[in-house]
Amino acid sequence: MIKWHGAVQFSSGVSISLKCSFCFLLLLVFACTSSGSQLEGKPLSLWQIDHGEARVYLLGSVHALKPEHYPLSKTIEDAYSQSDITVFEIELGRLSSYEIALIMQELGSYTTPHSVESAISEKTLRLLNKYIKENKLKTGVFSQLKPWMISLQIALYEMRKSGYDSNLGIDQYFQMKAQKEGKPIIQLESFREQIELLAGDDKVLQDLTLQATLQESETVSSLIGELVLAWKNGAADEMYAISTRDESRYPELKGQMERLLDDRNIKMAAKIKGFLKGKEHYFVVVGALHMGGQKGLLKLLGDDFKVIQMYE
């Protein structure tokens, strides 16, 4: 079973499904409206927004990385140190492992006599059995899991095969740091809300998502490499473009991307705007795929505030 860390953000591969799941987990889970930034140094996936005495540092997070990606830039570390309050999509320590397991079992598993074999199409079942055989997995390993959960399992499995570790994710790193130092933590969503979002697709859409995930599973390594490189270069537009460039291949999944990114961006932006009404400094860590696009956080926040990209 997957070890769940709360931020289910890296959701779908070259297909929207695998990119969405990945972006929703990595999270998967990328229109850069920044201005007034420094002219020297390397751009970061970090932005600063000031309003009166309030300040928000907005950091695009990758939810799984490799040891080689640390240490982080001093600019990022300084932004964290200068903030009074930390904000994440999910507070990882709010639920116990037992509570998380109950939610995952409730929303991601079948009860006997139901199984995934009887819930998916013949084509998807053939692809699933082929994947199990090629990866030398135990027969029936996915039988009691719902299609959306299997898609997520496969995405995470392929991610680990490529050497990426969710324990090294940016959100995980800063939450552990904030907990250790006793900094206040605010969550923008709940774990259950995120899981209900993934589990809420109808039977036909879950089948198509799993089918796309299986068909695109071999592209995961190259996709992650592209996304992480764009993240390191602070290229929000490029990250978003990578995640949406093959929409035409799976047009039925466009609505899924809108739910996983666009709809959530509106709610997140409203909460971040609320932070700018006070006097505190906030360090907000959100999946990097939420930053770009005409409905991304940078655009939504840039409509009302000056958003400045930060550099090393």
Q: How many CA within 13 A on the CB side of residue 209?
A: 32
Q: What is the mean pLDDT of residues 156-168?
A: 90
- Name every residue whose Cβ is closer than 8 Å to that of residue 171 and which is 6 or more positions away in sequence: 7, 61, 63, 88, 89, 92, 285
Question: Are 221 and 24 a contacting pair, CB within 8 Å?
Answer: no
pLDDT above 90 covers what percent of the chain?
70
pLDDT score recorded for residue 40: 57
Choose among 68, 78, 269: nearest CA to 188. Answer: 269
Mean pLDDT (whole number) for 67-92: 96
* pLDDT digit string, tens, across residues 33-62: 333 344 458 999 999 999 999 999 999 999
Q: Which residue has the higher pLDDT, 145 or 248?
A: 145
Render pLDDT for 212-229 as a digit per residue (tens, 0 to 9): 899 988 888 888 889 999
User: How does DSSP classify residue 27?
Assistant: -
The answer on pLDDT for 292 being more than 90 is yes
* Confidence bin at 115 (pLDDT 50/70/90): very high
| Residue 227 phi, psi dihedral angles, 5° rounding | -65, -45
Q: Residue 254: pLDDT band by 50, 70, 90 thresholds?
A: confident
Residue 28: per-residue pLDDT: 42
- Whether 24 has a pLDDT exceeding 60, the answer reads no
Q: Contact at 8 Å (CB) between 191 and 6? A: yes
Residue 15 in contact with residue 215, Cβ under 8 Å?
Answer: yes
- Number of Cβ within a 10 Å radius of residue 74: 10
Helix/strand/coil for 54: strand
Percent of the chain with pLDDT strictly greater than 70 = 86
The domain locations on the chain are 11-311
Position with higher pLDDT, 17 vs 207: 207
Could you tell me the sign of the dihedral formed by the alpha carbons of 240, 241, 243, 249, in that order?
A: positive
